Amino acid sequence: RFIGPSQHETATHFLSKSEAPTDSEALKCLRADIRYFKWRNGVVGHTTVIWSASVEPNSELLPNLKTANELLEAIELDEAERGGPIPPSILY
């Protein structure tokens, strides 16, 4: 997925295009990772994920998405169909 040019050497935890070829697949992987983390650590209830990346692509698309359903529908489309990238932080 997206890794900033200055982060290629230090990036250790990311989904490759072969692991998650679409944003929809990336979202499924992230949700599965969070469920596994909760199960493995006995977490019951709410989990907070903190996004700490400092570099990601800009998106002209986000101001047009007004609801969670619109965002989920956009995630199902490929980048060309929806008119631009969805920043990785939004998938979290």
HEC states along 34-56? HHHHHHHHCCCCCCCCCCCCCCC
Span 54-62, average pLDDT: 73
**Alpha-helix residue ranges (DSSP H) falling in the chain:** 23-41, 68-76, 79-82, 88-91
What pLDDT was estimated at residue 20? 80
Higher model confidence: residue 9 or residue 26? 26
CA 14, CA 2: separation in Å to the nearest integer?
9
CA 28, CA 30: separation in Å to the nearest integer?
6
pLDDT tens digits for 28-40?
Answer: 988 998 999 999 9
